[in-house]
Amino acid sequence: MALNTLYFPFYVPPVTGGDYVAIDHIVGLNMLGFDARALYLQSDSGYLKFPVPVVRAPVRLNSNDIVVVGEVHKQLFEQLRGLDCVKVLHNQNPYYTFLGFDTVQQLNAYPLAKIITPSHFTEAKLVEMGVTKPIRCVRPFIPSYFAPGTKRLQIAFSPTKRPQESSYVMGRFKSQFPEFADVPWVPLTGMPRQTCAQIMGQSAIYSAFPLLEGLGLMNLEAMASGCHVVGYAAGGGTEYATAENGFWIGETEHEEFISKLKDCCDLVRGKAFNPYIESGLETARSYSRENFETELRDCYLEIMGPLAARFRK
């Protein structure tokens, strides 16, 4: 039985990409033999929706227990400040940093053992901001259910972060190129992740509308699903976006956006060979479970240090 535990707090059941990454950390740590659990901070039955070991608050933290907290949870950081536990910041998006801390100085003064990021972009951005805490990158993996299926000419997209702009681009595209006005646009909202994967697998094109990302996971999921990606890299996506694996658009360059969408539709209707698809698949393959598990193991062993055996189940 483990003498210490790694806790990952949640206020709601997992719904976002960042939530799923945290869940993957819990799963991966348990597969390595460590006692890692979600810590559900609400009193309702939401804890029943977790696919990993979960405990409900309140819990009594033992000395040297590790609590891994997302970057947006300002109140939780304050509650943990004086407790005898190891605090780790899981900063999945540098642009959300000031939702958890008022200033870089406040972050640097907080007793953090480590900051974990999902990309070297996020790591570099934090350093650029003046963060002096030790940082370790653990890149997420793309689940195997994101895979090419039987393709059709349709455009998958997520309007969540840019609802006005995605509506504008879609309307402009249909208006300027009426020959493609009947091409379906399928919004990936309000559905399980596996359903998103199924739609991506069927869609020839993914229109990317991320905003201020630490990585941009959905772009990678679309590549793994064999979509031709057209749209924004949005910060973190610059870590993997190349001229070979997608049509990447500069901010507000809407004429270029709709023009590249037309080029994609022409490729699909003409059944021409599309080298961007294979390049995108190759990019996505670098975000493998094997690479993730190696980076995860090395990172958390570094955090646990000589006490690692205490976390063994």
| Enclosing domain of residue 97 | 6-141+288-311
Please count the structural domains in the chain. 2
- In this prediction, residue 224 carries a pLDDT of 98
CATH, residue 21:
3.40.50.2000
Which pTM does this prediction carry? 0.94
Average pLDDT, the chain: 96
Among residues 167, 166, 266, 265, which one has the least CA distance to residue 208? 166
33 Cβ neighbours under 8 A, 6+ residues apart: 312, 313
Please tell me the predicted confidence (pLDDT) of residue 43: 83
User: CB of 34 within 8 A of CB of 62?
Assistant: no
Question: CA of 212: how far to CAs of 21, 93, 109, 224, 304, in Å?
Answer: 18, 8, 26, 22, 32
The answer to whether residue 90 is domain-embedded is: yes
Helical (H) or strand (E) element with 203: strand 203-208
pLDDT tens per residue, range 237-273: 999 999 999 999 999 999 999 999 999 999 999 887 8
89 and 24 together in one domain: yes
The answer to whether position 1 is within a domain reads no
- Express each pLDDT in 79-103 by its tens digit: 999 999 999 999 999 999 999 999 9
> Is 147 a member of any domain?
no
Same domain, 99 and 209: no
Same domain, 156 and 220: yes
pLDDT in tens, 108-152: 999 999 999 999 999 999 999 999 999 999 999 999 999 999 999
Other CB atoms within 10 Å distance of the CB of residue 277: 20
Give the model confidence (pLDDT) of 25-71 as tens digits.
999 999 999 999 999 999 888 888 899 999 999 999 999 999 999 99
In a shared domain, residues 179 and 102: no
Flag whether 17 is in a domain. Answer: yes
Whether 102 maps to a domain, the answer reads yes
| 108 in the same domain as 204 | no
**Is the predicted pLDDT of residue 188 greater than 90, yes or no?**
yes
At position 304, the amino acid (one-letter code) is M
Tell me how far apart the alpha carbons of residues 192 and 16 are, in angstroms, rounded to a whole number: 10
Angle at CA 134, nearest 5°, toward 136 and 76? 90
Residues 6+ apart with CB under 8 A from 164: none
Q: Say if residue 277 is in the same domain as residue 292.
A: no
